[in-house]
Structure 1
Amino acid sequence: MPPPPRWATPRGVPRVPEVQAMHAPAMLLPLVLQNVQYAINGQPLIHGIDLDFHPGAPTLVLGPNGAGKSLLLRLCHGLIRPTAGRVIWQGLAAQNPEALRFGQAMVFQKPVLLRRSVLANVLFPLKLRGLNGGTRFARAMEALERVGLTALAQRPARVLSGGEQQRLALARAWALGPQILFLDEPAAALDPNATRQVESIITDIAATGTKIVMTTHDLGQARRLAGDVIFLHRGRVAERTPATEFFNAPRSAPAQAFLNGDLTW
């Protein structure tokens, strides 16, 4: 990796000679779901899902509205707990609370941003991780450079455009060096140019070794990004196949109907 650029360092923040690697070692994966179920008020929404996630190309989660795509990501990330079954991290450091906390990250369709500057939004989780001031600053600035937001570092995060906010959310997650990054419709509300920028960043993050698990309604986007596809229908996994096979010859009738535009719910 080339040396970091010579950014203007704020007064009182020491300069560091180089930035630590921006992706975590393989400690947490594989992630395994065993007969995972989720219900609200007795109404089942996720039915007995068995899945595993290993390092590798991005996994895209597809399905019609209400299929359970966002719920699946939240169950994997630990934002909600299954009402039955188990979500298990099987890597060497899976029992390390800090590794579990910082070895994974999630970005939502509508980014959750602090009422602070662009730079401060990236610095804050790095501080929680326990990095020293100089390392935090260098890591944050590298992440902003990678997503094209260096010039906006001191701007309030909440006045950014939708595309800029999503790029900031990706930078904040990327700076932590997660081994797995969950993305829930990260480009759903963006215009074509902003979507292309977000897709380029996702590709770059995946290239550093971070496993991407992402939901989308955009079939073109799924074709461009996916290594494999999980297709959900009514809270169940209808199929999981390599992306080329899924788009050329889906194995299940619901998936074929979905690709034909005949399945919307």
Structure 2
Amino acid sequence: MSAALGEKVLLRLEQVGLRFGDVQALSEVSLQVHAGEFIALIGANGSGKTSLLSALHGLVKLSGRREVAPEALAAQVMVFQRPFMLRLSVWRNLLIALWLAGVPRQERRARAEQALLRAGLAGLRDRPARALSGGQQQRLALARAWARQPRILFLDEPTANLDPSAKTEIESMLASFKAEGMTLVMSTHNLGQAKRLASRVIYLDRGKIRVDLPCEEFFNTHDLDPRTELFLKGELKWDMT
């Protein structure tokens, strides 16, 4: 943490690097996450999106500096592409998540009820969580995250491998989180999704931030660098060289 962090800056990375063996996953990455932003991380496979999410969330050992504002230090949640579900009911998955997060016992039931309603899962509260469809499991994962009332929500491709209807349901939930002022950072391969949801777009290439712009400016600027243009045209799918 640092007293230099501004009131609206929740998280900052400065000259961050991350290696996995011989692979340099991130290099010289610097950015700030401000309260209320919805940041979309885009880039080709292998560009560093998941690594950057892990670095922001503090899941990996880095070089450089990671600073978190005091109010966001214990109020961060990450939803993975394939969320883990306990071998218990939908309801128990919610209650245990709140217990593990340290939510007072007298608050857990009300929060869990609200979360079920937000996710459209109230009628499935007694169903085994692992018996839900992929889209329903992802909505439950978002419900668990929302119930913890995070300041920052990290999302790793939350609609990957879901059908169009399930994607629409997830996007609707995320849009409502954004409208309530939650700060979100999401990796996605879906450029349409980034356009619909994000307020800011960060394009990663070979472990570095190549472009960081407000969403509308990113998709309407015609003088981006050549590799970014290739990616936007769908001609830069893998980034392993």
Superposed pair shares fold, TM > 0.5: yes
Could you say which residue in structure 1 is the equivalent of 2:55? 75
Q: 1:184 aligns with which of 140, 156, 161?
A: 156
Tell me, yes or no, if the aligned pair for 1:109 and 1:189 is still in contact at 8 Å: no
Tell me, yes or no, if the aligned pair for 2:9 and 2:32 is still in contact at 8 Å: no
Pair 179,27 (structure 1): closer, same or farther in 2 beyond 3 Å = farther
Tell me, yes or no, if the aligned pair for 2:40 and 2:198 is still in contact at 8 Å: yes
Any gaps of 5 or more consecutive residues in structure 1? 1-25, 94-98
Structure 1 segments (4+ residues) deviating >6 Å: none
1:213 aligned onto 2:185:
yes
Separation (CA, whole Å) in 1 of partners of 2:116 and 2:8: 26
Q: CA RMSD in A?
A: 1.7
Separation (CA, whole Å) in 2 of partners of 1:129 and 1:216: 27
Could you say which residue in structure 1 is the equivalent of 2:45? 65
TM-score (norm 1): 0.84
Alpha-carbon deviation of 1:113? Answer: 1.2
CA distances 1:181-231 after superposition (whole Å, capped 9, x unpaired): 000000011000000000000011112221010000011111101101000
Could you say which residue in structure 2 is the equivalent of 1:6? none
Which entry has the higher C-alpha Rg, 1 or 2?
A: 1
Could you say which residue in structure 2 is the equivalent of 1:233? 205
Pair 71,63 (structure 1): closer, same or farther in 2 beyond 3 Å = same
Could you say which residue in structure 1 is the equivalent of 2:16? 36
For 1:123, what is the secondary structure of its paired residue? helix
Separation (CA, whole Å) in 1 of partners of 2:159 and 2:190: 9
- Letter of the 2:226 counterpart: A
Could you say which residue in structure 2 is the equivalent of 1:54? 34
- Letter of the 1:73 counterpart: L
Could you say which residue in structure 1 is the equivalent of 2:64? 85
Tell me, yes or no, if the aligned pair for 1:28 and 1:100 is still in contact at 8 Å: no
Alpha-carbon deviation of 1:43? Answer: 2.8
Tell me, yes or no, if the aligned pair for 1:63 and 1:231 is still in contact at 8 Å: yes
Separation (CA, whole Å) in 2 of partners of 1:161 and 1:150: 15
For 2:73, what is the secondary structure of its paired residue? helix
Task: Give the alignment of 1:199-210 within 5 angstroms.
Answer: 199-210=171-182
Separation (CA, whole Å) in 1 of partners of 2:42 and 2:85: 26
Could you say which residue in structure 2 is the equivalent of 1:172? 144
1:258 aligned onto 2:237:
no
Separation (CA, whole Å) in 1 of partners of 2:214 and 2:128: 41
Tell me, yes or no, if the aligned pair for 2:43 and 2:203 is still in contact at 8 Å: yes
Task: Give the alignment of 1:88-99 within 5 angstroms.
Answer: 88-89=67-68, 91-93=69-71
Tell me, yes or no, if the aligned pair for 2:90 and 2:127 is still in contact at 8 Å: yes
- Letter of the 2:65 counterpart: R
The count of residues paired between Structure 1 and Structure 2 equals 232
TM-score (norm 2): 0.92
1:122 aligned onto 2:122:
no
Separation (CA, whole Å) in 2 of partners of 1:50 and 1:107: 23
